[in-house]
Each structure stands twice: as C-alpha cells, then as structure tokens.
Amino acid sequence: MGRRLADSSTRARLAAPDEGIGADELALATRNHGLPLEALRYDVTPPGLHYVLTHYDIPYVASNAPWQLKIGGRVRRRLRLDVPTLRAFAQVTTRVTLECAGNGRALLSPRPVSQPWLVEAVGTADWTGVPLKLLLAEAGVESDAVDVVFTGADHGVERGVEQDYQRALPVDVAMGCESEVLVAYEMNGAPLPPQHGYPIRLIVPGWYGMAHVKWLREITVIDQRFTGFQQAVNYRMRQDSGEAGEPVTRIVPRALLVPPGFPDFMSRSRVVRPGRVPLEGRAWSGKAPLARVEVSTDAGHSWHDAELDPDQGRRWAWRRWCFHWTATPGDYLLSARATDADGNTQPLDQPWNRGGFAVNLVQRVPVLCLEADE
Amino acid sequence: MGRRLADSSTRARLAAPDEGIGADELALATRNHGLPLEALRYDVTPPGLHYVLTHYDIPYVASNAPWQLKIGGRVRRRLRLDVPTLRAFAQVTTRVTLECAGNGRALLSPRPVSQPWLVEAVGTADWTGVPLKLLLAEAGVESDAVDVVFTGADHGVERGVEQDYQRALPVDVAMGCESEVLVAYEMNGAPLPPQHGYPIRLIVPGWYGMAHVKWLREITVIDQRFTGFQQAVNYRMRQDSGEAGEPVTRIVPRALLVPPGFPDFMSRSRVVRPGRVPLEGRAWSGKAPLARVEVSTDAGHSWHDAELDPDQGRRWAWRRWCFHWTATPGDYLLSARATDADGNTQPLDQPWNRGGFAVNLVQRVPVLCLEADE
C-alpha cells in the first residue's frame, strides 16, 4: 500500500505560543529571500537583491529555448505566441514595487506556519513587456468573459492538491482598469532572471506578488469566477479556516527605514554615534497614491512628518523619504509610517488573519546611540 | 549612563534542545540566502541564485564611484590602485565554487546560534580579476612577511567587537602556492553585484567563503600571524569556547542532489511517479580533486557509483554527476556522497563543533513515489 499524495502534504497550521521557527519554515527561508534593508537606498533594486518567493521549483528553461504562450478560452481567436512575437508588439516599461502578500507574517502571534517573512519581502524593478490588453484585443474577448486565468510552468503540491501555479484577475482588471497589466519579458533592461519568471511573467502594478504569475505559459478567459487553489483556498483573509474569506488583492501602505549606523551581526540591532543621523527609507501603497510618511524615534509615542521625494509620475513605484534625526546617547526604537490618499495607513497593533496576509505593522528598528567617547 | 557597545551585542551561544529557530536567526535567514537546489542544474549559477552571506551591511557604492585599493605594510612600495589600474594588469578568469563555512550549521545538535544554513550555501561563478601575486610583486613583499591581511568596507559589531571585516592568508597562500588568488572585479563577465563585493573582492579558490573578502579596500602585509576577530575568534574549529581551535580553511567534500520530481510547498519533500527518474547533482572539494560520487536510494544502507562529468580542467568548480534511478511506489530517502583524491569524504554521522563550521553531513532528500494511477 503506497502512501497517497494527500497524506504526504503539509496542512495549514498555526504555530503554538512561543514555538520557534521550524525546520519546514527554515527550509523556505533559506531558499526564498528578502531585500537586505540597506538596499532600500537604491531606486531600482539591483538584481539578486529583489525579494523572491517561489511556491514550487524554479522551472529550468535554457536560454532562448522555444517558449509558447497560449491564449484561449472565451476568445474569438486562439493564439500561440512565442517570445519574438511578443517583442514585436508595442512595448511598455513600468517601474513597479512588488511585495509578497505574506510579508510580515512571522510577526503575527499566533504565527501562521508558512514562508516566515519579517518585513523585507519587497523590491522595485523596471519591467518591460506588452500590455495584456493588446494581447486580449488580438484574441478578441467574448462578452461573457468574467475572469482571466494565468497558468505558470511551476508545478507542485500544496495542502494535498497537485497543481500548476494558477491565478486569475477579473476581466476589467486584466484589461487595465486599475493599472496597465504587462506580459513582461525584461527586468531592468535584461531578460528575466530564472527566479523572476524567465522567459515571461505577468506584472500587475499595485497588486501583491501572488498575482504576478511567473513562467507564464497560458492565459485562459473564462465565463465564471475562477476557483483554483491559489484563488479560492490560498490568499484569502480569514479568521477561521471554514470561512470563504475576502480575496487578497492590492498592496496596503508600508514604509521601511534604511537601518541607520551599523549592525550587530547576530541581533541586527543598530549602533550610531551622537549627532545628526540622516534617516531615509521608502514607502508605497497599491491602494491609492502615497500621501504622507511620518517618523517616530520614541517607539511610536510621537510622530513627525518626513520629507517625501516627488513621485516623478511613477505611481506604482515606492518613493524615497528622509528625516533628520539628532541622536543623543541611549536606546531607541525607530519607526516610519505610510498613509495613502484614501487614508489607508499602518497599524501599531496588527489585526490578525490566519494566512498572515497583508500585514503592514509599523516597523520597529532598535538603535543604540553610544556615548560620544565610545 | 549609556549602555556600552559590548552590552548590546549578542554573545555566541548554543540553542537549547528542541529550541526552534529564533527571531535573530530568522532575521539573518531572510536577508542572506542560499542556492535554491533546483539551480544546481546550471554549470554557472545565474546571478541572484548564488548564495550570499554578509556579516554586516552591504556597503553602498554608487556605480563607477572612485574606489582605491591600498597595499601597504611590509612592502617596499606602498600602492594605491583604482579599478581602471587593476583592469590594466594581466587578467585571469577562473570558475570557482564558493561555499559558506557555516553551510549545514542548522543540522547540528545542539545548534550553534548563527546564520542557520541547511545545505544550500553554495554557488559557482566565473570570476575575473588580477592575480594577487602580481600586485604583491608590484609592491615588493619584504622577506619577513608572514600574513597578508585583507580589509573590506563592511563595518559592524560582533560579540562586542566593533570592526571592519578583516581576514588574512599566509603569505605563501596569498602568493598562489595552492591556487591562484584573484582580486576580482567581474562576476560572470559583468561588474560585481553589490552583494558580491562591488567594485572588488578577493577570490581564494578552494577556501570557504570567509576568506574571499568583499568590498576590498586594503591589503596589508604583516610580519606576524594576524589575530583579528574573524581569524582568531571566529572561524575556528572548537569543542569548547576556551580552546584556541584549528582555523577553518579549505572546503571539505560535498555532493548535493537536484531534488527530483516536484515539491510539496511547505515540507519541501519531493513527489515522483513510478519509472525512470534521472538523478543529477553537483559535487566539489577544496581539499583535493574530486574522485568519486556515490548515490543511495535507501537512506544510506547501500551505495552505487554515480557517473561524473569530466572536470574540463576546472579544478575549483563543482562537477556534475548523474545516476539513473528506477522508482517504484513507496517512501525513500535519497543521498549522494562525495569523496576526493585524498580520501576525504562525507559523514553519515556528523562530528560536532561549536561554531558549526565545515559541516558536510550527507544530504537526505525525502521522496514519495506515488502509485502509477495516482
């Protein structure tokens, strides 16, 4: 009697109180990786420092191997497009800040057992590709279209369900009613790295990472709501496992600091010397344009407006902010808080959900300011 | 009364029995990252998939900002070399497999609390630069030289000691008696990425990663043994904290498998279907040329020789191996084991040391082979 697939797959669970990170979470943390926070200094994240989250394996695709994107379902003309054909369409480049929907998960209590992000699952890149609406227009979407399903080449099992990674967008979102959705073939002016979806991926500016399907091989227009695992089971905001829950969609506001001074290797706490300590960081929101960033140097008791760099028309990219702090000897907790034009902001006390999604608790950076002579 | 630097810095410690990975280890695991094991398929690791371990912060160096490498100490001529000058020297490209000295640490029991690697802290790149011996010849090393000290621009505190990252090589190793040591300015034909040492770093083929000083800004020839923190305190093989310990130097043998089939998202255990399952992976040793790779599909009870690809004269790069496995339904633990020409091999039962260095326990990959009809 062989064991069945469903028996071998890990169920969703919550960590016990004070349960440390387990071997399974560690195995995810060592292969997926975040942005080292000092790299928030770059407008565009250098290759290799952008966060990466892969559900299954990174598919092996040899350089310039043939690749076909199929477009089908409720369309008038089925299409099969190779990469040179995609490159022949009108080309758009957009700077986009991408964040994992699970960013901040490991800060929750109880902790949902999954990829254990702290705050660093973010990055910004210039993505170049063809607007999805041009491809859908070429195929001719039928009037009864409801959802557009995107299928990647990554294959695995999750909570007992064997699957290709699949996600859908409502047809109006796919057509660009919120932001220009791209079928992208370049990241920062070069072919996509393997871990970012080589040769092609979806880019949905403003949405969490789960929507940006990598290693894209099929687009299927359907006349009903998509009920695949990553849409109806995963990526839902729930208190209890029995609930249908609300779908995770657009990125809630967040500000992060470039940690000032220098770190202790093990604790990552920061050390500065007395005097002017320039603070800077990045802030973003996928919900509405960013309106304000505030800084606190006293663990969130008082807040001061930071100076925001102009957005330069880059609605979907993070914005730099800065603040001048004069440090005197002592212990500090530094924080920054972003608020968008719709009034969405970051909590000091994080509401909990059992998937650990859309967590945007205010970051707290412990800093020791030494005596002047030390 | 301010707190002192020494009070704010974390001490070395061992985890308690069954203590999960803590917040400090997780903060390291989310910023440093390993090679996703499926990327063992590539001869040369694609940028961004190579392992990264940074003790402190990645220094921010703007593209083409001025950078000077100083060479001094027990030399006849002090030198200050900028990057264009380094590029004017004879240029060498070497394919090198780099591994972190702490790879495997999190598999030890008790676990030394530090960067919690499993098996994935490895990668292979083509490094281009000037042989260090040419620079030392230009400077003229005095006859009383003992060690050559390399100083990076990365700055932090570690166990209470504020420091720039510094490591030394014995002068004969620096002069290339074991392998050609490079001052490298290119990785895979492009300028170094920030996290790999932009603009210049040391490459010491065959040695663990701690020797390959990144963001290299100073080379100092001294007439005694170097006793800096990363040489005399860290990176020593010890049973007790009071011992001087043996220095960590060259890479012990290791073989890793490309995990076959497809993964379960959370457990990372693998699923295959019955029939021929090609197994492949990479193996390397910095101690002596690789001699043999064996594979076990029964948890290490029996071993079979794998087929090794030719080394193509690339002594310091990993070598591909392959093995044909015919899977039948059931549960398996797959392993591979490397042995070098000096008879160094991998243990099934890992000797312990309190830094968690040079751990090369045989990898065990759990695999479920489904029934044919599932």
Q: DSSP states of B272-295 as a string?
A: E-SEEEEEEEEEE-SSS-EEEEEE
Closest chain A residue to the Cα of B36, Cα to Cα: A31
The pLDDT of B358-374, averaged and rounded, is: 94
Q: How far is A194 from chain B (nearest CA, A)?
A: 8
Strand B216-222's sheet: what is its strand order?
B79-82, B68-73, B216-222, B147-158, B161-170
Q: Is B263 on the interface with A (CB under 8 A)?
A: yes
Residue B13 near chain A (CB below 8 Å): no
Pairing of strands A270-272, A365-369: parallel
Asked if the model's pLDDT at residue A3 lies above 70, the reply is no
Cα torsion for B168, B172, B176, B177, to the nearest 10°? -130
pLDDT in tens, B9-54: 878 899 998 899 999 999 999 999 999 999 999 999 998 999 999 9
Which pLDDT score is estimated for B1? 44
Q: Please tell me the distance from the alpha carbon of residue B175 to that of residue B177, in angstroms, as a whole number.
A: 6
Portion 125-144 of A in contact with B at CB < 8 A: none
Residue showing tokens 């890149």: A125
pLDDT of residue A1: 43
Closest CA to B258 of B276, B281, B283, B278: B281
Beta pairing, strands B365-369 & B270-272: parallel
10 Å CB burial of residue B113 (0-12, 13-18, 19+) is buried
Residue in the structure block whose two tokens are 């960033």 = A293
Task: Name the average pLDDT for chain B.
Answer: 96
Q: How far does the CA of residue A120 sit from the closest CA of chain B (Å)?
A: 7
Option in A24, A265, A271 nearest B266 (CB):
A24
Write the pLDDT tens digit of every residue in A250-277: 999 999 999 999 999 999 999 999 999 9
pLDDT tens by residue, A276-285: 999 999 999 9
In angstroms, the CA A97 to CA A254 distance is 11
Residue (of B222, B221, B217) closest to B202 by Cα position: B217
C-alpha distance from B7 to closest chain A C-alpha (Å): 10
A50 near B CB under 8 A: yes
Rounded to an integer, the average pLDDT of B165-175 is: 98
Helix B23-31 with A23-31: angle, nearest 10 deg: 30
Mean pLDDT, residues A364-369:
96
AA identity, residue A61: V
- The answer to whether residue A154 scores a pLDDT higher than 80 is yes
Enter the tokens of residue A210: 């789960």
Gap between the Cα atoms of B299 and B363, Å rounded: 10
Average pLDDT rounded to a whole number, residues B320-334: 97
Contact B106 A29 (CB under 8 A): no
**Distance set, CA B257 to CA A136, B165, B319, B346 (Å):** 42, 33, 12, 14
Q: Are A321 and A282 in contact (CB under 8 A)?
A: yes
Which residues in B114-143 are b (16+ Cβ under 10 Å) and which e? bbbbbbbbbbbbbbbbbbbbebbeebebee
Residue B192, classified by CB atoms within 10 Å of its CB into exposed (0-12), middle (13-18) or buried (19+), is buried
Decide if pLDDT at A8 tops 80: no
- Span B149-177, average pLDDT: 97
Q: Does B259 touch chain A (CB under 8 A)?
A: yes
CB atoms within 10 A of CB B307: 12
**A2 pLDDT higher than 60:** no
- The neighbouring-strand residues paired with B306 are none
- Outline where chain A has alpha helix (H): 5-8, 23-31, 83-88, 132-139, 171-174
The three-point CA angle B257-B259-B263 to 5° equals 165
pLDDT at position A86, please?
A: 98
CB contacts < 8 A (A, B): 227
Is the predicted pLDDT of residue B326 greater than 80, yes or no?
Answer: yes
What's the mean pLDDT when you consider all of chain A? 96
Cβ <8 Å between A106 and B370: no
Predicted pLDDT at B3? 66
Summarised one tens digit per residue, pLDDT across range B242-267 is 999 999 999 999 999 999 999 999 99
- Shortest Cα distance from A159 to chain B (angstroms)? 8
pLDDT digits (tens, 9 = 90+) for A198-225: 999 999 999 999 999 999 999 999 999 9
Is B100 touching A (CB cutoff 8 A)? no
Q: Which residues in chain A (274-333) have CB-CB distances under 8 A to chain B? A: 329-331
Give the Cα separation of A124 and B113 in Å (integer).
Answer: 32
Question: pTM score > 0.90 for this model?
Answer: yes
A92-148 per-position pLDDT tens digit: 999 999 999 999 999 999 999 999 999 999 999 999 999 999 999 999 999 999 999
Shortest alpha-carbon distance between residue B45 and chain A (Å): 10
Closest by CA to B276, choosing from B333, B331, B328, is B328
Cβ–Cβ contact B231 with A under 8 A:
no
Kindly indicate the confidence band of residue A344, based on its pLDDT and cuts at 50, 70 and 90: very high
How would you classify the pairing of strands B216-222 and B68-73? parallel
